[in-house]
Each structure stands twice: as C-alpha cells, then as structure tokens.
Amino acid sequence: MASITLQGITKTFGDVTAVRQMELAIGDGEFFVLLGPSGAGKTTTLRLIAGIEGPDHGRVLMNGDDVTNVAPAHRDCAFVFQQYSLYPHLTVFDNIAFPLRSPLRRTDPAEVKRRVREVAELLHIESKLERKATALSGGEMQRVAIGRALVREPRVFLMDEPLSSLDARLREELRVELKRVQQRSGATVVYVTHDQVEATTLADRIAILEAGAIQQVGTPQQIYREPDSLHVAQRLGSPAINVLPAEWFEGSCHPLAAHVAIRPEDVELSHGNGQASFQVIECSLVKHLVVAERAGVEVRSRRMFEHALAPGSAVRFHFPPQHCLFFDQSGRRLAAPH
C-alpha cells in the first residue's frame, strides 16, 4: 500500500486548465474522496496519479518516491474507469482474471480461480462468469470492471464514479462492500464521485474540487460543520444549507458578514404570526422538512411539529447563534462574533 503526494500539479488541455497547482497528501490506507461537479478535474486528477497523463508542472510521489516519470504499469494502481472498459471478446471470468495473468504477475491457475470466484460473489455476478462481457447489462459490466480492480492487491485503488451506473439498492450494497474490502485490506483508495452521500459515507477525508482547484480538504464532519467558504458549505448537506441575508441578524452578526448560513436541522420552528413570520410552502412529514418563505427568501427546517402544516400557514423560525456560519461578500468564512 502507499501514500500519495501531489506537489504543485498543473495540467492543461489547450486553453483549459483541468488541474491547477494542486497540493494533496493522501495517507497510506486512507479512503480519500474527490468530490466536485462535472468538469472539476476529478478524472484528470486520477489519471495523473495513475500516470496515464503527465503533468505540465509539479510532481507525483508514492511513498515519498518521485514517480512523475514512471510508467503506469510500474505505479501499480488498479483503476476503475468512469466508462467501463472491458475486453468484449473475453468472458466475465477472463475479464476479472486478466490482471492476475499479466506477465508482471503470473498467478497460479488455481489461485486465479479462487480469487475470481471470491470477487464475483462479493459483486453478485457469480452466475455470469461464463458469459461474454458484451452480453451484460450496464450495471453488470461496471461490477465486472470493479471486480477486475479488486482481484488484484495493488498499492492504490483509483475509482472513478464506479457506482454511478447501478440502481439505488445495489449502489448502497456495494458501497458497504467497498468500504469493507478497503478496511480489511488496508488499501489506499482515491475515489471520485459527485454524490455527496457516497462521499460522506465512504470517506476518511474529502477534497472538494472546483474548476481544477481544491477548495478544502477535511473529514466529512469538518467539511460539513466547518466549511471555509459558502461554496463548500453548499456542497454538502441535503436539503442544502440555508443562506440568509445578514440584515436579518442585525446586532448578533459579524460586521463584515454578507450572508449567514445555517443547516436545516439547526433551524428551530414555532407557530407564529405577525411581522416576523414566514409562509409555509411545503411541509412533509415523510421528508421531515418544512419550507417557508419571507420576502423572497426560502428557509428550510428539519424541526417538525407532530402534525403537518398547511401551505400558506404562518410559522416562525429561530436561528440559534451557535449554529450560524458567517460569510463575507466573496463567500469567505468569517470567525463567529463574540
């Protein structure tokens, strides 16, 4: 297993800067998640770690050794690609077994059989082993691709949205399995997703990526509770964090604050009328959510009454100061006022 360090990595494609001066230190045995929207540079970062792309500037280190100019085969990373890439003329068995039979590894045939079966069972594709890879559904192909990575014992697993083509139940099941495999093997995993549930349940630490630049690195808890910027605050949490105008907090607010943000689970709710009240837009006991509006600003609360509130009825919100986060005009987080 291995630690991974990216030092000042920049990668451009023509006039697009896919990765910008990236500094990242991923620990040996860490489950590290890159979370960001489409085009943020997630796949490019994985490809740079694997050695499929070379950086314009900067260095890639594994276990402290500079591997920037080392060929992919010698970096020993198992890659699960975003678009599953199987050998169509081979069976499922042979696809999964492929890395074990490479000249670099030459595994004993009985051992190959044992390992392939074990992985196939884990991924629920044991009944498909004799099929051609082309005779599978998309979700099955993706599981074969995951199997081909898991069958090895590489230094690093690089996984690019490996569960995105699976249905919700299977995704949940495999999420648990992947975490278990990682914990058992102590593997270093760099895992790309734009699904925040996946990110927060799998990650030891998350890097929030935006336009090729890292916005923040931390545990899911740190990113959720202590975001450095409004942008990061809005990346995690469903329903999303409330962003309220600073004028609502006169006196109790940071003098430079332009926005005050508070998580829906921290917004307290009471019956109310009069000037400070909000109009209910949606109230769902199932979703455990009340959405109400005042002067064009929507507020979401996860504190519920015993009974549903009719749309149009009046409620009051209370925003406990200890849960409020303050941001300046540019979205930078400000220290809480004392």
Ligand X SMILES: Nc1ncnc2c1ncn2[C@@H]1O[C@H](COP(=O)(O)OP(=O)(O)OP(=O)(O)O)[C@@H](O)[C@H]1O
Q: Which residues bind Mg ion (CB under 5 A)?
A: 43, 82
Q: Report in angstroms how near the CB of residue 9 gets to ligand X at its nearest.
A: 12
Q: Give the list of residues 6+ apart from residue 37 with CB closer than 8 angstroms, or none.
A: 194, 210
Q: Report in angstroms how near the CB of residue 192 gets to ligand X at its nearest.
A: 7
Closest to 86 in 3D by CA, of 150, 127, 145, 130: 145
- Beta carbon nearer to Mg ion, 36 or 154: 36
- For 10, 141, 312, the CA distances from 54, given in Å and listed in that order, are 9, 29, 58
Q: What are phi and psi of 162, to 5 degrees?
A: -70, -20
- Beta carbon nearer to ligand X, 94 or 198: 198
155 contact, one of ligand X, Mg ion, none, CB 5-8 Å limit per kind? none
Tell whether residue 40 is a contact of ligand X (CB under 6 A): yes
Going edge to edge, which strands form the sheet with 16-26? Answer: 16-26, 4-13, 57-62, 65-66
Q: Give the list of residues 6+ apart from residue 25 with CB closer than 8 angstroms, or none.
A: 3, 4, 5, 6
Closest to 73 in 3D by CA, of 50, 96, 48, 90: 50
Q: In whole angstroms, give the CA distance from residue 289 to residue 303.
A: 7
- Beta carbon nearer to Mg ion, 94 or 160: 160
Q: In the 8-state DSSP scheme, what is residue 111? A: H
Tell whether residue 20 is a contact of ligand X (CB under 6 A): no
Q: Report in angstroms how near the CB of residue 245 gets to ligand X at its nearest.
A: 32
Range in contact with ligand X (rule: CB under 6 A) among 32-40, 89-97, 107-115, 130-138 = 32-40
Tell whether residue 41 is a contact of ligand X (CB under 6 A): yes
Tell whether residue 13 is a contact of ligand X (CB under 6 A): yes
Among 2, 22, 36, 264, binds ligand X (CB under 6 A): 36
Q: Report in angstroms how near the CB of residue 197 gets to ligand X at its nearest.
A: 16
Q: Report in angstroms how near the CB of residue 219 gets to ligand X at its nearest.
A: 22
Q: In whole angstroms, give the CA distance from residue 29 to residue 259.
A: 38
Range in contact with ligand X (rule: CB under 6 A) among 36-44, 91-99, 244-252, 292-300 = 36-44
Per CB under 6 A, residues contacting ligand X are 13, 16, 18, 36, 38-44, 82, 194
